[in-house]
Structure 1
Amino acid sequence: MADVARVAGVSSATVSYVLSGKRPVAPETRAAVEAAIADLSFTINATARSLRTGRSSLVALIVPDIANPFFAQLAATLDEELRGLGLHVVVCNTRARRAEEQALLAEATQQRFAGVVITPFRLKPNDFEPIVGAGIPVVVSADVSFGPIDLVTPDAGNAIRRALEEVAAAGRRRIAMIAGPRDATGGDPRLEQLRALALQFGMSLPRELVVRGEHARQAGAAGFGELMSRRYRPDAIFCGNDVIAIGAMDKANELGVNIPADVALIGHDDASFASLVRPQLTTIRYPAAGVGRAAAQLLIERLNGRQVHKTVHIKAEFVARSSV
């Protein structure tokens, strides 16, 4: 910066103002500084700046499955919202493994990241204590709270109710669910909501019609096959997410089971492929872009000094297509 200042005929402080935008600089002065920067091929030393400020310009987005289009859209939206503020999103894939989740939180703490947005899968509330204690803003995107930490969470009750109405109108009564793993943090709120609301429609969701697995396509296929092997087959299956539902469709094709004639199928998230498969997937839309915008806003508020934690509810909606 001293070299740039000497060539431009200004002070180092003026160069700093041009680079940071913290104070107005006369147009002719800015032009002189920018010309000197170009002549000298000057670039900011990000490592040195982070040492001086105590914080980098990086925001970690930590997700369980980077191949899931929901998280791809979340990443794109978060990056779009933060880039104009000089913050850059680094996407980290945990593969839903607790050790990976813990290691990435520790790395973000050690590297003094500007913030973290995370969809935890097997973390516990006390796992967040070190990074929160280090003063790094954290936003959790999940169905359950992780204590006094900013949270973006779905408001899906009405959407699930509408899905059950559609299932009931189609004459279905034996519902099942391909749910997430038993050891996922906070259990499976989507399963519990479905079970509670089903009673209002004279339906039940018995334990024998709940199969569990990872939130992955292979688990959807295995779960669908298991349900179809039962003596009393379900005539409607809810899935923990759309990726699971696609796996269920794979297995249905293999077994010669017709969707929706033999069994209705309902996903969750409304991923980009949900309207492209055949039959088009009926699902509960949880907008990834809305989650990304809310997480970015919470992070910005924290960086601007907000101390009290907040929860933002994102409304989900039922999307009727042709798999029911």
Structure 2
Amino acid sequence: MADVARAAGVSSATVSYVLSGKRAVAPETRTAVEAAIAELGFVVNTAARSLRTGRSSLVALIVPDIANPFFAQLTATLQEELRGLGLHVVVCDTRARREEERALLAEAVQQRFAGVVITPFRLLPKDLGVLTDAGIPAVVSADVPFGAVDQVAPDARAATRQALELVTAARRRRIAMIAGPRDATGGDPRLELLRALARQYGTALPGDLVVRGEHTREAGAEGFAELMDRRYRPDAVFCANDVIAVGALDKAHELGIDIPGEVALVGHDDAAFASLVRPRLTTIRYPAEEVGRAAARLLRERLDGRTAHRTVRVKAEFVARASV
């Protein structure tokens, strides 16, 4: 850095500001520094920086299923938002296992990560204590409150209400749901929200019309088959996410059940494939890009010294397509 500073005719501190982006630098000064960096072939030694600061330039993004397009988009957005801060995202897939979630938190502490962004599936709020004790900021993306931590959470009430309005306007009264597993962190808030709002539309979500499973395509197919085997079949099925809904579509085709003629189908998240399947999937859009931007903003504020915990709510939107 001293060599770059001499070549550019500036101080070493100015070179540091150009590299870190933490302070504004005049455009002509930035150009001179960047030209000197290119001429000298200077490369930042991130290992040395980590030794000096006691923290790496890495941020862990911990998700339950990287194959889910929602998390792929979240990864891309978070990476783009943090790159300008000199931070790099390491993606960790837990496969929705609590032991893996806890192991990855421990690894983040051991490697002195700059921060952690996590979508917990079976993790408990107390498990985040290892990060707090190590002074590593964390941002949780979850539907339910997760204790004294920065959090990004959905506001899906209005969108769920719109979905119910469309379903009940089509005179569907036996509403079912393929929900997540019972031992998921915080239960299944999407199920509870649907159940609470359904009563306002003169219908209910009885226990025999709720089936549970993992957030997978296979669980969606199994859950739909189970619902169709009921003595009184549902005429509308809500799904905890779009991956489950695609599994339900698979099984409907296999069983010769017309969607939406016989059964309306509603997903959640609006993954990239939701508009590609046939029929195109009606869903509740929870925008991964906005979630990623909000998580990056919270992490940046925490790294800049904010101490009070914040929760950012991201508004979900109802997307009407052809499956209702």
Does the C-alpha gap of structure 1 residues 33 and 93 become closer, same or farther in structure 2, counting only changes over 3 Å?
A: closer
Equivalent position of 1:307 in the other structure: 307
What is the CA distance between 1:245 and its match in structure 2?
0.1
- Note the alpha carbon deviations across 1:254-298, whole angstroms, 9 max, x for none: 111110111010000111111111111111111111111111111
Quote the residue 1:74 is aligned against. Answer: 74
Q: Deviation per CA, 1:45-96, whole angstroms, max 9, x where unpaired?
A: 1111111011111111111010111111111111121111211111111110
In structure 1, what is the equivalent of residue 122 of structure 2? Answer: 122
Alpha-carbon distance in structure 2 between the residues aligned to 1:275 and 1:29: 44
Q: Tell me what 2:86 maps to.
A: 86
Partner residue of 2:184?
Answer: 184
After TM superposition, list the pairs within 5 Å mapping 1:47-66 onto structure 2: 47-66=47-66
Equivalent positions of 1:97-116 (< 5 A) are 97-116=97-116
Distance 1:18 1:298 in 2: 23
- The equivalent residue for 1:273 is 273
**Residues of 1 paired with 2:272 and 2:250: CA distance?**
17
> How far has the Cα of 1:126 moved from its partner?
0.6
Q: Cα distance 1:306–1:231, how it changes in 2: closer, same or farther (>3 A)?
A: same
CA separation of 1:312/1:10 partners in 2, compared to 1, >3 Å: closer, same or farther? closer
Alpha-carbon spacing, 1:116–1:175, altered in 2? closer, same or farther (3 Å):
same
Quote how far apart the aligned CAs of 1:175 are: 0.7
Letter aligned with residue 149 of structure 1: V
The structural deviation recorded for 1:42 is 2.9
1:115–1:136 CA contact under 8 A, matched in 2: yes
1:18/1:25 contact within 8 Å kept: no
Deviations 1:181-223 (A, max 9, x none): 1110100011111111111111111111111110011100010
Q: Which runs of 5+ in 1 are unaligned?
A: none
C-alpha distance in 1 between matches for 2:320 and 2:9: 66
Change (3 A) 1:181 1:38: same
| Percent identical residues | 75
Shift in Å at residue 14 of structure 1?
6.1
Secondary structure at 2:102 match in 1: helix
SS in 2 for 1:185: coil
Distance 2:59 2:282 in 1: 34
CA distances 1:83-125 after superposition (whole Å, capped 9, x unpaired): 1121111111111011111111111111111111110000001
User: Where do residues 1-324 of structure 1 align in structure 2 (5 Å cutoff)?
Assistant: 1=1, 16=16, 19-20=19-20, 22=23, 24=25, 27=28, 31=32, 34-35=35-36, 37-38=37-38, 40-324=40-324
Per the TM alignment, residue 252 of structure 1 is displaced from its structure 2 partner at its CA by: 0.5
3-state DSSP of counterpart to 2:123: coil
AA aligned to 2:168 is: A
Structure 2: unaligned runs, 5 residues or longer: none
Give distance in 2, aligned partners of 1:311 and 1:107: 26
Given the superposition, is the C-alpha separation of residues 234 and 32 from structure 1 closer, same or farther in structure 2, using an over 3 Å criterion? closer
Assess if the C-alpha contact under 8 Å between 2:79 and 2:89 holds in 1.
yes
Instruction: Report the alpha carbon displacement of residue 41 of structure 1 after superposing the two structures with TM.
Output: 3.2
**TM-score, length-scaled by structure 1:** 0.93
Going from structure 1 to structure 2, the CA distance change for 1:10 and 1:209 (only over 3 Å counts) comes to: closer
**Deviation (angstroms), 1:163:** 0.9
Query: 1:33/1:117 Cα in 2 relative to 1: closer, same or farther (>3 Å)?
Result: closer
